[in-house]
Chain A
Amino acid sequence: MGMRGKVLGLTGDEAVAYAIKQVEPDVVAAYPITPQTIIVERISEYVANGEIKTEYIAVESEHSAMSACIGAAAVGARAFTATASAGLAFMWETLYIAASCRLPIVMAIVNRALSAPINIHCDHSDSMGARDSGWIQIYCENSQEAYDAAIQAWKIAEHPDVLLPVMFCLDGFVLSHTLENVHTLPDEDVKEFIGERKFVKVRSHEGREVPFVLDPENPITIGPLDLYDFYFEHKRQQVEAMKNAKKVIVDVGREYGKISGREYGLLEPYKLESAEVAIVGLGSTMGTAKVVVDKLREKGRKVGLLKIRAFRPFPYEEVIKELEHVEVIGVLDRSLSFGAQGGPLFLEIRSAFYDFERRPLISNYVYGLGGRDMPPDLIMQIFDDLEKIKEKGRVDVLLKFIGLRE
């Protein structure tokens, strides 16, 4: 299996656009922003050439992009958008609305730093700023993963136990503009895998069981005023949906493995067996880090890494299972949470181990802001540092900046 599709030379953006072409959503509403532009340009071309029947809405802003996706998804259409940085920040209000209206929209985020100062290069400040918006977040290591996520996302988002929008993230320029060999699936395999969008039943105000979609024959009200008497319960339902998403992400990843030969889960352990120190991170840097781990392993050093794929829902239990034997953990963050003890991923990992009886030493490394390079020797330094911490038996400096001129 997995041998039926073509291998294409694609940049990350092109890989996403190609997957979306195969999915052929009903509506794409998007606004260009570097480094996402190639995605919307390619999709526009597919539409212009009649290769897909998608309605392309060239909206006048990202706020309207997400709003149009909300309208389209509410009427039963499949809706896709893509953005980065300022565009995602501009969407902030509507991100929450999309998630809270339980609309299974799919969005590609091509990670880019936030202003000011304006910077077009990669870091994760944009998507990390949206981590509490109620969206599922999947981080991709390479273009292949971006292609695969662009297909799986629909099945996760639309699952009746989930009904939450999904954003999958790929690093700006590092992935978006870099050519890679991408194994694609045949169009019909993608279409079959995704299937038709189905609708859960809800009780309408007229007392009937009706599909959860704007349908003139079965009127429902979406997005009402919801005050202290019910709002809280609705938020609780979103918490449940996020919890359910963990199993669904794994199931969908497994099912996808059957048709592609590439199986996915919530996270990916790499050479963690017998590892004494390990780094945890997400995104393209994990590709570089794997090479570093290989080199160090060759030298007999007991190192490994854990790549987080799903940041929301966050796989706490799975993280502990993978890392329970590790003595020192270095968490790599490509964004900051100003005023906090460390970056967003660090806070999650440290909190995950709070109830674990044998807590490992955990240290935080912030790197790559505004596109600052993260070459192998810097990752090597982190492993050196982790081993030093292990010898000392304590973490002296919780948060360190990697590759920074002090």
Chain B
Amino acid sequence: MSGEKLSLKDLARKRDLLAPGHRLCAGCGAAIVARLVMKATRGPTIVACATGCLEVATTIFPYTAWRVPWIHSAFENVASTASGIEAGLKALKRAGKLKYDHVDVIAFGGDGATYDIGFQAISGAFERGHDILYVLYDNEAYMNTGIQRSGGTPKYASTTTSPAGKVIPGKLELKKPISHIMVAHRIPYVATASPAYPLDLMRKVRRGLEVEGPAFIHILAPCPRGWRFDPRYTIEMARLAVQTCVFPLWEAENGKYKLTGVSRSIARNPKMKKPVEEYLKRQGRFRHLFTPENRHLVDEIQKIVDEEWNWLLKMCQLS
């Protein structure tokens, strides 16, 4: 089945490969992301997971929530661990020792594991062309260790290592354009996705598994604890991020950018684009921006989002 033909009806019937009973927080975006990703698998699959919330909370010995073979090795090496799995499978197949025609390999990493400490390993694995799907579940900070900033934390977000203080209004640096960096690796498939749009997400996962060679899917995973919002609003945050173009949905197959879903609709009908304020004001991590002295910072964020959105439209040849 190709990525395009997946239907929610079929997917709803499929047994969850990430079982309930794990200990991720109520309303955890990462849990929803992982469950959806696993729903979109297509056959024998092996999962490798970097250290982080997803790993720690799903495999507390002697329990595990994974109904697939699963390995955690370290924080920064999930891409190289997955490289070894893929190479091992290839060699076993060649030697006639593999009982499967093909086994998909999925690597999960958080933003810390991806933007920062594990970046080199991913770059290496992609340059070598391993046939793996790398899923970045991006909750925009090191949540497992207590909400510290990462290269994926957005500008002016308050974290425990970029706290909004009397003179410094949260993180001063921009979020690293990680997915565009992955496109620049000239891998066959890169996409962004949001759990607010599950079918779009699962189609992209399926496409990522189908292509030969590395695929990278960047999925926003709102974290009620780190972003400071009520757990019932996880999907709303994921939706607002897309509707404000803070986190547009796109895919790039062989380097060719294409908007998908709501983001495509917004490109056609710019009036649909919501102001970033609607997204920011719902989250405690941006609370300090809504004071008279800091108001201009919200405008600055709007400007950055607009610029990046316009750049993306150009990449999609829509402007």
Contacts and interface: CB of A to CB of B under 8 A. Distances in A.
Contacts of A26: 87-88, 91-92, 95
B63 A71 contact: no
Contacts of A63: 76-77, 80, 121
A94 B73 contact: yes
Contacts of B81: 67-68, 70-71
B128 A76 contact: no
A214 interface: yes
A216 B87 contact: no
B80 A68 contact: yes
Nearest to B23: A225
Interface stretch (B40-48, B146-154, B161-169): B40-48
A94 B60 CA distance: 20
B70 A219 contact: yes
Interface in A63-95: 63-65, 67-77, 79, 93-94
Given A97-B73, A224-B59, A75 B83 contact: no
A64 B78 CA distance: 9
Interface string B40-72: 000011101000000111011111101111111
A67 B121 CA distance: 10
Nearest to A61: B120
Nearest to A98: B73
A55 B87 contact: yes
B276 to A, nearest CB: 37
B73 A224 contact: no
A59 interface: yes
Contacts of B92: 26, 75-77
Given A64-B124, A94-B73, A222-B70, A72 B85 contact: yes
A74 B74 contact: no
Contacts of A373: none
Contact of B91 (A77, A220, A221): A77
A74 B72 CA distance: 11
Interface string B132-173: 000000000000000000000000000000000000000000
B282 interface: no
B283 interface: no
Contact of B46 (A61, A70, A214, A223): A214
A215 B100 CA distance: 10
Given A63-B80, A69-B84, A53 B71 contact: no
Nearest to B55: A225
B82 interface: yes
B64 A61 contact: no
A69 B82 CA distance: 10
Contacts of B312: none
A72 B84 contact: yes
B34 interface: no
A205 interface: yes
B196 to A, nearest CB: 29
Contact of B121 (A64, A72, A79, A215): A64
A230 B44 CA distance: 30
A53 B91 contact: yes
A60 B88 contact: no
Contacts of A229: 61
Contact of B70 (A27, A79, A221): A221
Contact of B88 (A53, A71, A205): A71
Contacts of A71: 48, 71, 73, 80-88
B4 interface: no
B87 A225 contact: no
Contacts of A75: 46, 84-85, 88-89, 92
B179 interface: no
B83 A59 contact: yes
Nearest to B78: A67
Contacts of B97: 76
A204 to B, nearest CB: 9
A266 to B, nearest CB: 31
Interface in A9-62: 26-27, 29, 53-55, 57-61
Interface of A: 26-27, 29, 53-55, 57-61, 63-65, 67-77, 79, 93-94, 97, 101, 205, 214-227, 229-230
Please list the 3 inter-chain residue pairs (A to B) with the smallest Cβ-Cβ separation, ordered nearest first.
A71-B84, A60-B124, A68-B84
22 contacts: A27-B91, A57-B128, A60-B127, A61-B121, A64-B80, A67-B83, A68-B87, A71-B82, A71-B83, A72-B85, A72-B87, A93-B74, A94-B77, A205-B62, A217-B99, A219-B70, A221-B69, A222-B70, A223-B59, A223-B73, A224-B61, A225-B59
